[in-house]
Amino acid sequence: MTCDFTRRGFGRMAAALAMAAVAPGRSRAASRLPLVMIDPGHGGHDPGAIAPDGTYEKTITLASGLELRRKLEATGRYRVRMTRTTDVFVTLEARVADAIAANANLFLALHCDHLPEPDMRGASVFTLSDKASDALAAGVAADENSADKFAPGHIAGVSPQVMNILASLESRATRLGSATFAHNIVQSFTGVIPLLPDPMRSANFAVLRDPSTPNTLLEMGCLTNPLDEALLKSPAHRALIAARLTDAIDHYFSGQSGWRVAG
């Protein structure tokens, strides 16, 4: 699916998101198990961030997503879907559409940071807001939102008004759920996975614009930092991240009415 950045394309997108936001009941609790949507960032001809030694972000996010899917499915407590399971390009719009179509109960986008200072390291967790929480969050969102420049037929200069409208459709319940999940991740990582200072931030991320699904974007570490890069390339460390994320997801659903997460 290619991304339609025309006015008509954004009109359809806004209408679909508005309907999802106000549709009564969306029957999320009808399924036996909650559905977690994992979104490995970048892919195909979009490598994402590139480490000094040539490591691609898209490779790490896919490996991490597959490991997280394995751990979640092994618990028997969740259904899991992924926006991509191979090295293919998926537009940001298509990732959001996948979550809407699947009636996902939770959405997690996986990324790796590249920051201007090589001594900056650690994971950070982002939620959606129409205005960035700080300059760092604004820069990260600008980088991640530029992924669709790789889409065929991309037209530069997406209207900020349209971006803000899409962000404003997010319901209060979704916003609270996203903040809760972000907090769960930070709590689960603390003392185990390195974190940036003030690791909970927010900005207008295109991939977080499903107004009916609690969602977060996780930067698992900084590819521009040698220590983080070595960890992110390590299968053992990626398994540790997946284990801590599984714990965070358990905590999230144990606190949500309508779901019972057995130990």
- Is the pLDDT score of 25 beyond 50? no
- Is the pLDDT score of 87 beyond 90? yes
Lowest mean pLDDT among 179-188, 236-245, 251-260: 251-260
- Residues near 63 by Cβ (< 8 Å), separated by ≥ 6? 235, 238
Q: pLDDT value at position 3?
A: 39
Q: Which helix (H) or strand (E) holds 139?
A: helix 135-145
- What are the tokens at 261? 């997460």
Mean local confidence (pLDDT), 66-92:
97
* CA distance linking residue 10 with residue 158, whole number of Å: 9
- Is the pLDDT score of 263 beyond 60? no
pLDDT in tens, 174-202: 999 999 999 999 999 999 999 999 999 99
Q: pLDDT value at position 27?
A: 43
Q: Give the domain ranges of the chain.
A: 7-18+32-254
Q: pLDDT value at position 171?
A: 74
Where residue 212 falls among pLDDT bands split at 50, 70, 90?
A: confident
- Is the pLDDT score of 252 beyond 60? yes
Percent of the chain with pLDDT over 70: 77
DSSP code string of 166-187: HHHT--HHHHHHHHHHHHHHHH
Tally: H helices and E strands in the chain: 8, 6
- Taking the domain 7-18+32-254, which CATH number applies? 3.40.630.40
- For the four alpha carbons of 217, 160, 1 and 88, in that order, the dihedral sign comes to negative
| Phi, psi angles (nearest 5°) of residue 82 | -125, 145
**What residues does 124 pair with on adjacent strands?**
219
Q: Which helix (H) or strand (E) holds 36?
A: strand 35-40
Mean local confidence (pLDDT), 85-93:
95
* CA distance linking residue 73 with residue 94, whole number of Å: 24
Q: pLDDT value at position 37?
A: 98
pLDDT in tens, 106-126: 999 999 998 888 899 999 999
pLDDT in tens, 117-175: 889 999 999 999 988 999 999 999 998 888 766 555 443 444 555 555 555 555 788 99
Residue 130 DSSP label: S
* CA distance linking residue 233 with residue 64, whole number of Å: 10
Dihedral angle over CA of 217, 221, 223, 228, nearest 10: -170
- Is the pLDDT score of 23 beyond 90? no
Q: Please, are residues 103 and 27 in contact by the beta-carbon 8 Å criterion?
A: yes
Q: Please, are residues 61 and 40 in contact by the beta-carbon 8 Å criterion?
A: yes
pTM above 0.85, yes or no: no
- Residues near 220 by Cβ (< 8 Å), separated by ≥ 6? 60, 61, 64, 110, 111, 112, 123, 232, 241
- Is the pLDDT score of 214 beyond 50? yes
